[in-house]
Structure 1
Amino acid sequence: MDLLYMFIGFIASLVCMFLLMPPFIRYLHKIKFGQTEREEGLASHKAKNGTPTMGGIAFILVPVVLCILSSFFTPYKIDMKLWIVLLAFVGYGFIGFIDDYIIVAKKDNTGLKPGMKFLLQSILAVAFYIMYSSHNPTTLWIPIFDISFDIGFLYFFLIFFMFTAETNAVNLTDGLDGLCAGQMIIALIPFIVFAYVSNALNLVYLLVLVEGALLGYLYFNKHPAKVFMGDTGSLALGGLLAAVAMVLKQEILLILIGFVFVIEVLSVIIQVTSFKTTGKRVFKMAPLHHHFEKSGWKETQVVHRFWLVGIVFAILGLFIGVR
């Protein structure tokens, strides 16, 4: 029966996206909520100017609304852990929405000031830590060795880092058509298995709804993209991933499963640090996906090869994490 519910939920989420995205894209065109490419960006990306952004609104609202409505007539009720995941998904998406709105209103890429964006991300991270730790132990599971121990107040810093780092990492990965959405579809699969093994079926159901919505969104975001998710979508997905890893006690495996997100943000850190200290750039352009574009790879080649890397690390994380 559970599999039937999951299948129906997935199809419902997918169909909703197919029905909603065309009129939503037309509406974004009408109100001129279009992407503004950076002046220092790649020349091949200039053609993307004006492509509707904030498409992430759709793949946030569809699974959240379906999940809440389904809780009234399915066995999958919303408990504290699921509320944390839902609120992280919506909360970080709202921060992204504010950023996107400022960008499209001013027609530049300034958006929220970095300090303000980090402050808002930090406030949510602290809130979710308090919500979670007040009802759950602050233990950390070490994969491979299969040991758990209580890290006490250090757990706060781990959770704070997870939420702030993951949201920014996913945000940086959203730079090529289909890259971020496809990578997120891949990364969520191991966590669906972890949730199922843990008998957290309500969380499985939500993630299946998200997968259906992301697959529907990807149809319109594949190259050449008809819509972008914007910070609305990328920050929401980062918050979702961090929250899921937290409630499933898979904090360390998040690094492995989200390896593509990790190397994207590391490439930016390395590039900035190197340029500020030596005046030299390590990569032709950061984040890393732009380096490969600058090296002559087609956009679709970069996306598909990054997806392949993501699949490898997702399988590895799944193999290590199932216990």
Structure 2
Amino acid sequence: MRLILIAAAVSLLLSMVGTPLAIRIFARRGYGQNIREEGPSGHYDKKGTPTMGGTVIVIASLCGYFTAHLVSMVSFDSDPPTASGLLVLFLMTGLAVVGFIDDFIKIYKQRSLGLRSGAKALGQLIVGAVFAALVIRFPNAYALTPAETRLSFLRDFGPSIGIIGFTLWVLFFIVGFSNAVNLTDGLDGLATGATCLVLAAYVLIGNWQLRNSCTSVGFGPNCYWVRDPLDLAVVAAAVLGACLGFLWWNAPPAKIFMGDTGSLALGGVIAGLAFTTRTQLLLVILGGLFAIITMSVIIQVGFFKLTGRRVFRMAPLQHHFELSGWAETTIVVRFWLIAALCVAAGLVLFYVEWMPK
């Protein structure tokens, strides 16, 4: 628990202090947001707001995680970083690099589109493929690897889908959730707040799996075969602290945007946590808001191609309500409530499944 608290506190402090510094640096260099002409007219006032704030989230998260482990090792508690934690952080950082390139091109060329969709997807696939190749390696003393080549909901289930099938599943999941958070990042604080709720759930899940790990409580029917549950909770806490500190400045009216640097990174970290905690399909419930917003885009595009008509005034879904006259803060708070309900439903399922039969 001390590791979790140190990681969260350090990343929160660094993010709170570092974000206004980043705002001044980015504003001085002209790293401002460009607004799509076809977007809601109310967004034009946001043009020039500093972007690429996701760099602060990533740096603060990494500092919080490694500081917590450094303090632990200095105090002789012997809690070094683990393969599971490092791989999730690698996934977050790798996708942040892809997002940073995308953001920088937007700024450099002064347009609302950065990397071409193919180049952006290729970057996500490369990072995801490396993660998929490494996450089934590094067995510990109990022959547990950070992830298994099986599907999981609340635990692993069913037969192995093979290395190729697992790699494709990882790529689909990582690209899907990193883009889902990216689509959600359309209003001030919306994606940051929703991600905070999912990360808080993973702090609880990792801590619960630690307390009920098969390697610590014995091989009972309800124990969890997870390689490094404590370190995964530390990762989630570090990123949660960084997001909370950033949200202070990103809440409406936002002083800075996370950009693709942040949204791709956050989508990657929650996808990585899902694989390493064996809760891949549970993430669809925990991150229900991201799934709903992504589905709104799929429905809008599919229906328009079939009929030439639109289901929503504009997609993603949050912009439909903007054009319907809802205030931005109203949409953000209500969507946070939806995200909270999804997280609550996911945690209830997680606990009910564990309860002794």
Moved more, 307-316 or 68-77: 68-77
Which residue does 1:106 correspond to in 2? 109
Which residue does 1:46 correspond to in 2? 44
Matched, 1:247 2:276: yes
Residue 147 (structure 1) shift: 7.1
Q: Could you state the TM-score of these two structures normalised by the residue count of structure 1? A: 0.95
Matched, 1:32 2:40: no
Please state whether the residue corresponding to 1:46 is helix, strand or coil. helix
CA distance in 2, matches of 1:132, 1:10: 24
Which residue does 1:167 correspond to in 2? 178
Residue 30 (structure 1) shift: 0.2
The one-letter code sitting in structure 1 at the alignment partner of 2:161 is G
Which residue does 1:207 correspond to in 2? 236
User: 5, 8, 12: which one pairs with 1:7?
Assistant: 5
CA distance in 2, matches of 1:252, 1:108: 36
The runs of 4+ residues in structure 1 deviating greater than 6 Å are: none
Which residue does 1:196 correspond to in 2? 207
1:67–1:206 Cα contact (<8 Å) kept = yes
CA distance in 2, matches of 1:6, 1:298: 37
Residue 142 (structure 1) shift: 4.0
Which residue does 1:151 correspond to in 2? 160
The one-letter code sitting in structure 2 at the alignment partner of 1:122 is L
Deviations 1:60-111 (A, max 9, x none): 1011123123323314422211111010110000000000000011110120
Distance of aligned partners of 1:320 and 1:117 in 2 relative to their CA distance in 1, 3 Å threshold: same
1:267–1:287 Cα contact (<8 Å) kept = yes
Moved more, 108-117 or 197-206: 197-206
Distance of aligned partners of 1:71 and 1:283 in 2 relative to their CA distance in 1, 3 Å threshold: same
Which residue does 1:87 correspond to in 2? 90
| Equivalent residue pairs, number | 319
Structure 2 residue ranges without an equivalent (≥5): 73-77, 139-144, 211-228
Which residue does 1:180 correspond to in 2? 191
Deviations 1:43-65 (A, max 9, x none): 11100000000001001101112
Q: Could you state the TM-score of these two structures normalised by the residue count of structure 2? A: 0.86
CA distance in 2, matches of 1:183, 1:193: 16
Structure 1 residue ranges without an equivalent (≥5): none
CA distance in 1, matches of 2:132, 2:96: 18
Which residue does 1:61 correspond to in 2? 59
The one-letter code sitting in structure 2 at the alignment partner of 1:65 is C
Please state whether the residue corresponding to 1:40 is helix, strand or coil. coil
Which residue does 2:214 correspond to in 1? none
User: 301, 309, 312: which one pairs with 1:280?
Assistant: 309
Residue 223 (structure 1) shift: 0.6
Residue 239 (structure 1) shift: 0.6
Compare CA radii of gyration and give the structure with the larger one.
2
Matched, 1:312 2:341: yes
CA distance in 1, matches of 2:277, 2:16: 31
Residue 35 (structure 1) shift: 0.3
